[in-house]
Structures are given as structure tokens and as C-alpha cells.
Structure 1
Amino acid sequence: MNDVVIRPLRFTADVKAMRAFLETLGLQARVDGEDRGWVDLVAGSGMVALHSSQTSSTGGQPGDTRLTFESDDIDELKDRLIEAGYEDATTWDEAYGRVLSVGGPGGTVFWVDERSEDLYGYKLHESEPDLRLTVAPQLSGANQADWLRFLDLVGCRQPVTFGPADGEFAVRLDLRTTEPLTEMLDRLTAAGYSAELSGTRIAIIDPDGQPIRVHG
């Protein structure tokens, strides 16, 4: 079975600060190239990648969040997408490994990196993330029914939530947890982050000045 994992990609002006913030939430670094502008972190389910905006070759600005994925086998995924009518599915080699791109619902183009044993000089950590934590990004400007069908086709089993359907496509870095929210709130405020508990969610402003929600 081809394992496809959701992995929001955050462009940031301060990789170190964003990494510390996500680790406070409970994610753990898996592949570390902080000095080269890249870190990816794992939760109990799902991942988050950090990319320095200063070294972005695609115009990523601080605070931009894009929807990306990681897959065991992008060739199998490409064949499946083409068979389903996504004829623009394309694979190519990057300096850090192989990549698939495809236009999803509404023409939104996203990338899928192929999981590789060759780390191209990056450091691999034996990570033990908080198993109570799930990466569950919010998609706005997205037709919910179309995106749920597309994510099912891709084989992504991590949850997403949906914001307003009008406007441009946008991704917000949201999480879910089964940890008591009061405990997470205490940890965040002790570390100096702006966070507020309201009902069954914590609203946070991250180091890039972007809103994040953690849902209980």
C-alpha cells in the first residue's frame, strides 16, 4: 500500500523559531537541515515542513503555507492520478529527491515528495512525536466535496477541515489533539506564545504572525 502523508509546507523567515514553536506543540523534527533552511517535523499523524523564505526558489513569502504531501511511491501515484483523469500529473528529479506535481480541484497545483533513504546530507532524527497530535490543515477557497474525493483518490488518510469556500485557495496550519487543552495552553503560555482557550480549541499566533488552531 502506497503511504501518502499530508505535509503542509510553511515558508518562514525564522526556521529556528518556528521549529521551537512546533516542538512546543508536540511535533518532533525528523529530517533536520536547519542551517540549510529546511526541517520537517512529524506528529502522531501527519507532518509539517519548514522552508526558509530567504532560500525559496518558488517565491515563498514568510507565513505562506502550501499543501504538500509525502509518498512512498510517486510513480504509482502518478499512474493512479492519470487513470482518474488528472493528465497533468508529472514527476521529475530535484536536488533533494523526486517530486510529483498535479493540479487538484479548482486547478490548485501541489507537490508530492517521494520518501527516500538518501537524505542528501540532511540529518535524520529518531523522532518520538506526541501520538495524541494530528496535523489537520484547514483549506479555504476549496470545494469540500471535490477535495474530499481528491484526497481519497490520493490515498491521504489524515483529516482536513474546511473554511469559507469563496475566495482564493489558502491553507491554515491546524492541529487536533487528545491531550487536555488546558495542559497544552499552560505549556504554550509558559514558553511565551500568545494563545487563548475558547471552548474546544486553542487559538495561537505563531512566530510568523499567522493564526493556528488546535482542536480538542
Structure 2
Amino acid sequence: MNDVVIRPLRFTADVGAMRGFLETLGLAPRILGRHGSWVDLVAGDGMVALHDAESSSTGGKHGDTRLSFETHGIDRLKERLVAAGHEDATTWDEAYGRVLSVTAPGGLVIWIDERSEDLYGYKLHQTPPDPRLTVSPHLSGAVEDWKPFLEFLGVRQPVTFDQAGDFAVRLELRTTEPLADVTDRLQAAGYTAELVQGTIEITDPDGQPVRVHA
């Protein structure tokens, strides 16, 4: 079974502001792109990536959140996908490394980056993340096939689903830290955060809703 990490990708007009917000939550930057247009941050379990919306080559708009993934050994994963009937699974080389694409349930094409020791000129940070924190995105408008598809890929992180509306990704996290402490830290840093029935509801710097669960 491949160890595939689900990595919500946020397109933003202010990478620095979103990075500061996620660091306040407890994520730590791992890889910084050239000119500050890209950064991925790690939690105790899971990742979040930030991409400058203005320089997006895929039409990413400010505030959009998409699904992306990372894993070791995309060739082996491609073989498993093709054997399971995903014949469009394709690998190729990008400027930052190798990528696998495949059509997921509902016709959405996803990209899975291959984890590599070669940083291709990117800058590596090694600040440890908060081990209590897990990235657990929420998928709206997700068809029932999404859960078994993610299990087939080897995604270990918790993902929640609902069938309402069009497909959309919302950034959500889980923590074993007391939620009152997280709320106080966010409010002290100037973020709009409220503890409501066991969940922190936050408005992030992009104006998007983010939730943190116990």
C-alpha cells in the first residue's frame, strides 16, 4: 500500500499572510519556492500547500482550494491504478519533480507529486510541526466513490464528506491541543476565531472559512 498524503492546495493573493496563519495553528514550513510563490507546510500528520494565485498556470483563483497529493514511488502507484481500471493514469516530469495524474470520482483530475530528495533549487526548512495537529480536509459535493478511492490510494488522514452542492474543498484540521488554547492563540494574533460547540470556526486571511476540530 502506498503512503499517500492528501495535501490541500490553496491559491492565494498573499502567500505570506496565509503562511503566518497556518504557522499560528501549528504547521511548519517545509519547502519554499523561488520568489516566494510556493510554500508547503507540514502538520504532525498531513500537509497544506500555498501557491501565489497571480502566477498560477492552471487558472487558480484567490481563495480557491484544490486537492493535491504527495507520495513515494509514483510508478508503482500508477501500475496499481491502471490495473484497477484507471487507464488514464499518467506520469511526467515537471520543473519540481515527477507527477502522476489520474481521473478521480466525479471526473476530477488529481495530481500526485512524487516525494524526492532533490529539491530542484527549492529551499528546505526543518522546523518541527506541532505533532498534535492533523490536516483533515472536507469535501463537499463528493460522490460516494471518493471514500473507497482515497482508501485505495493509501490516504491515512481523516477526510469528511457531504453530497451537497458542487465539488469543493474546505481546509479543516484536528488537534489534541485544548481548543480553548488554540482559540486564544488565534485571537491574540488578530484572527477571527470562535469556539462553537466543540469546533473552532475561523476566517483565514483569504476570507475563507477554516475549522479546527478536537
Normalising by structure 2, report the TM-score: 0.97
Q: Given that residues 16 and 34 in structure 1 are in contact (C-alpha distance below 8 angstroms), is that contact kept between their aligned partners in structure 2?
A: no
Structure 1 counterpart of 2:175: 177
List 4+ stretches of structure 1 deviating above 3 A: none
> Within 5 A, what are the aligned runs for 1:46-85?
46-85=46-85
For the residue of structure 1 that corresponds to 2:145, the secondary structure is helix
Q: Given that residues 3 and 156 in structure 2 are in contact (C-alpha distance below 8 angstroms), is that contact kept between their aligned partners in structure 1?
A: no
Structure 2 counterpart of 1:155: 154
Structure 2 counterpart of 1:116: 116
Structure 1 counterpart of 2:186: 188
**Cα deviation digits, residues 86-127 of structure 1 (max 9, x gap):** 111111111111111111111111110001111111111113
Structure 1 counterpart of 2:7: 7
Q: Given that residues 90 and 101 in structure 1 are in contact (C-alpha distance below 8 angstroms), is that contact kept between their aligned partners in structure 2?
A: yes
Letter in 2 for 1:140: S
CA distance in 2, matches of 1:153, 1:175: 22
Letter in 2 for 1:175: L
CA distance in 2, matches of 1:178, 1:25: 12
CA distance in 2, matches of 1:26, 1:73: 28
Give the CA deviation at 1:34: 6.3
For the residue of structure 2 that corresponds to 1:39, the secondary structure is strand
For the residue of structure 2 that corresponds to 1:19, the secondary structure is helix
CA distance in 2, matches of 1:192, 1:78: 44
**Cα deviation digits, residues 180-208 of structure 1 (max 9, x gap):** 00000000000000011001100000000
Normalising by structure 1, report the TM-score: 0.96
Q: Given that residues 2 and 153 in structure 2 are in contact (C-alpha distance below 8 angstroms), is that contact kept between their aligned partners in structure 1?
A: no
Unaligned regions of 5+ residues in structure 1, if any?
A: none
Larger displacement relative to structure 2 (28-37 or 169-178): 28-37
Letter in 2 for 1:148: K
Q: Given that residues 13 and 54 in structure 2 are in contact (C-alpha distance below 8 angstroms), is that contact kept between their aligned partners in structure 1?
A: yes
Structure 1 counterpart of 2:164: 166
Tell me how large the CA RMSD over aligned residues is: 1.0
Give the CA deviation at 1:3: 2.1
Give the CA deviation at 1:167: 2.4
Letter in 2 for 1:50: L
CA distance in 2, matches of 1:85, 1:130: 39
Structure 2 counterpart of 1:20: 20
Percentage identity across aligned positions?
A: 70
Letter in 2 for 1:116: S
Letter in 2 for 1:120: Y
Unaligned regions of 5+ residues in structure 2, if any?
A: none
CA distance in 2, matches of 1:43, 1:76: 26
CA distance in 2, matches of 1:200, 1:77: 38
Structure 1 counterpart of 2:92: 92
